[in-house]
């Protein structure tokens, strides 16, 4: 570590400490409100930049890249759709015989809780887009009794879907194993903030884990509101 | 004389316990099979999933289509059906390799649980019903 780097390292630790304690006081002063905050998940990077001849260190957090898919109503769904909103996302396929119905029954809990809130969206990506066409997704969503302005069922380029799955830090795979319906995937629900940073990963097949998600969403909404003021 | 009576009583009790054990075992087998093969779709409480997956719980289908159920388990089901007045139309795949006795236990489990109180099947009956399944894909 060069001297200069050391200096910046020290400085960033101090900055972090100040930020942390500020956050601490801030949350203490908020009587009644939750004084918890959600972690920012994924790899982070320290980037130096020059401001008025001085080097400063910024932390770059892992961010979900831009995307473009199509939902059950043939509407394009992109980063613009989720702009200024938080969302919960998962990966599934309509003919999945194993964990998907359970995941969907749990995602329905999230839907019912937040369907009246325009700042919360749900994005379910099909990992079998060849079979899960717009029409198939439409039938699926209708039978679930959910609306596309809250819950988007997405299909699109297979490569793009598998690629974005890895950006949400979940693994999906085609495996030709008939018992699992030909695909493997974890039953994760991922909570994403306004800046498309990952703020929570939950087990969508476990009621208790989804209980936690239901508690975390208001915490994140609260944080975003304060960030705007 | 008294001794023989005693032995008879003991044998009787023994036979009874084995029998009841056998029954609970069968009951457990039905439940185990349900948990392993059906619960992921029809849910732990048999409630199904909205209009995607029909309920097992208090489902009129179990009574109305009683005789078709063994074939349904073995070969699956496709096409629109009505359950408690609601239409469902998504394919369910069959369990081609499940033995007849297991199908019997499984069916008796769903026919007598989840709020259902329907007639049980005998092994012979299920065997017969399976002989004459309608044409299917497999």
Mean pLDDT of B93-118: 97
Q: Among the listed ranges A202-211, B6-15, B83-92, which one has the minimum average pLDDT value?
A: B6-15
Which residue of B36, B41, B48, B50 is the best one to mutate when testing the A interface, meaning the one whose CB has the most A CBs within 10 A?
Answer: B50
Choice between A13 and A62, residue whose per-residue pLDDT is larger: A62
Grade residue A22 by pLDDT with cuts at 50, 70 and 90.
very low
Q: Is some CB atom of chain A closer than 8 A to the CB atom of B136?
A: no
Pairwise CB contact (< 8 Å): B43 & A102: yes
- Domain membership flag for residue B16: no
CATH for B60: 1.10.760.10
- Domain membership flag for residue B99: yes
- Domain membership flag for residue B63: yes
Chain B residues with CB inside 8 Å of A179's CB? none
Percent of chain A with pLDDT over 90: 61
- Domain membership flag for residue B22: no
Name the residue of chain B whose CA is nearest to A102's CA. B40
Q: Which member of A99, A102, A144 has the closest CB to residue B50?
A: A144
Which residues constitute the domain of residue B103? Answer: 31-131
Chain A residues with CB inside 8 Å of B43's CB? 101-102, 105
Q: Residues of A annotated in the binding site for Cu cation, as ranges? A: 96, 100, 185
- Domain membership flag for residue B19: no
- Domain membership flag for residue B8: no
Mean of pLDDT over chain B: 89
- The domain total for chain B is 1
Q: Which ipTM value was assigned to this complex?
A: 0.76
Chain A residues with CB inside 8 Å of B51's CB? 142-145
Pairwise CB contact (< 8 Å): A97 & B52: no
Chain B residues with CB inside 8 Å of A204's CB? none
- Domain membership flag for residue B74: yes
Does 3.40.30.10 match the CATH number of domain A3-228? yes
HEC profile for chain B? CHHHHHHHHHHHHHHHHHHHHHHHHHHHHHHHHHHHHCHHHHCCCCCCECCCECCCCCCCHHHHCHHHHHHHHHHCECCCEEECCEEECCCECCCCCCCHHHHHHHHHHHHCCCCCCCCCCCHHHHHHHHHCCCCCCC
pLDDT score of A123 more than 50 = yes
pLDDT score of A30 more than 60 = no
Name the residue of chain B whose CA is nearest to A137's CA. B52
Mean pLDDT of B95-101: 96
- Domain membership flag for residue B59: yes
Which pairs with CB-CB distance under 8 Å and at least 24 residues apart come from A134-141?
Answer: A134/A70, A134/A71, A134/A72, A134/A73, A134/A74, A136/A94, A137/A71, A137/A72, A137/A94, A138/A72, A138/A73, A140/A72, A140/A94, A140/B52, A141/A72
> What digits encode the pLDDT tens for the residues B38-57?
999 999 999 999 999 999 99
């Amino acid at each position: 570590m060069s001297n200069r780097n050391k200096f910046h390292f020290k400085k960033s630790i101090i900055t972090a400490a100040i930020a942390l304690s500020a956050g601490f006081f801030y949350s203490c002063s908020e009587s009644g409100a939750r004084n918890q905050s959600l972690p920012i998940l994924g790899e982070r990077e320290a980037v130096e930049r020059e401001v008025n001849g001085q080097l400063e260190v910024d932390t770059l957090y892992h961010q979900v890249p831009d995307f473009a898919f199509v939902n059950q109503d043939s509407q394009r769904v992109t980063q613009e759709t989720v702009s200024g909103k938080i969302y919960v996302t998962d990966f599934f396929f309509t003919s999945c015989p194993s964990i998907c119905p359970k995941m969907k029954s749990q995602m329905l809990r999230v839907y019912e809780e937040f369907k009246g809130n325009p700042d919360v969206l749900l994005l379910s990506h099909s990992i079998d887009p060849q079979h899960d066409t717009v029409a198939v997704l439409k039938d699926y969503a209708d039978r679930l009794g959910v609306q596309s302005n809250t819950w988007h069922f997405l299909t699109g380029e297979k490569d793009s879907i598998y690629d974005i799955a890895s950006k949400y830090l979940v693994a999906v795979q085609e495996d030709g194993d008939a018992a699992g319906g030909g695909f493997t995937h974890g039953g994760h629900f991922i909570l994403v903030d306004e800046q498309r940073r990952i703020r929570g990963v939950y087990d969508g097949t476990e009621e208790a884990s989804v209980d936690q998600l239901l508690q975390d969403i208001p915490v994140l909404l609260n944080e975003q509101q304060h960030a705007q003021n | 004389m008294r001794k023989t009576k005693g032995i008879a009583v003991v044998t009787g009790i023994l036979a009874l316990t084995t029998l009841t054990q056998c029954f609970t075992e069968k009951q457990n087998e039905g439940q185990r099979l349900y948990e392993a093969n059906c619960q992921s779709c029809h849910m732990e409480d048999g409630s199904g999933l909205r209009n995607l997956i029909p309920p097992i719980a208090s489902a009129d289908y179990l009574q109305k289509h009683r005789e078709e159920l063994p074939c349904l388990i073995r070969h699956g089901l496709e096409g629109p059906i009505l359950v408690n007045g609601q239409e469902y139309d998504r394919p369910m795949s069959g369990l081609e390799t499940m033995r007849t006795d297991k199908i019997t236990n499984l069916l008796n489990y769903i026919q007598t649980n989840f709020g259902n109180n329907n007639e049980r099947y005998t092994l012979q009956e299920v065997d017969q019903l399976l002989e004459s399944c309608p044409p299917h894909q497999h």
